[in-house]
Amino acid sequence: MDKKRKLLCGEHGETNPCMVCCHLLSNSHVGYITASEPDDDPEWSHLREAWCEKCDYWWSKNRLFVWIYNLMTPDPRMVCEFCLEKIRDANARPNRELGWWERDG
């Protein structure tokens, strides 16, 4: 019962699914923040998540701000793990914290 959902990328084929905020796709150098722990939901524990510094700032606010911010922000997008690497290269700053999937290989 360990069938993890894969994502089919038009460019890279079947890979691990990743979720990124809309800003990471449309801008560059918006920062690149990664989830430090896998999702609590076992069904999504393999999902790699990354978002920009703006989202990180607003999501640290209270629930009302988060709710409004999410309403005004386009939904996150699914990308493949190789597309995520390109997104990382376009946005990441030096000395960022590594995501859970990037630590010790």
DSSP assignment of 67-105 equals: HHHHHHSPPPEEEEHHHHHHHHHHHPPTTPPPPTTTTT-
Quote the least distance from Cβ 1 to Zn ion, whole Å. Answer: 27
Nearer of residues 48 and 51 to Zn ion, judged by Cβ: 51
Segment interacting with Zn ion, rule: CB under 5 A, options 31-39, 61-69, 75-83, 85-93: 75-83
Contacts to Zn ion from residues 50-69, by CB under 5 A: 51-52, 55
φ/ψ of residue 43, rounded to 5: -65, -25
Point out which residues bind Zn ion (CB under 5 A).
9, 11-12, 21, 23, 51-52, 55, 80, 82-83
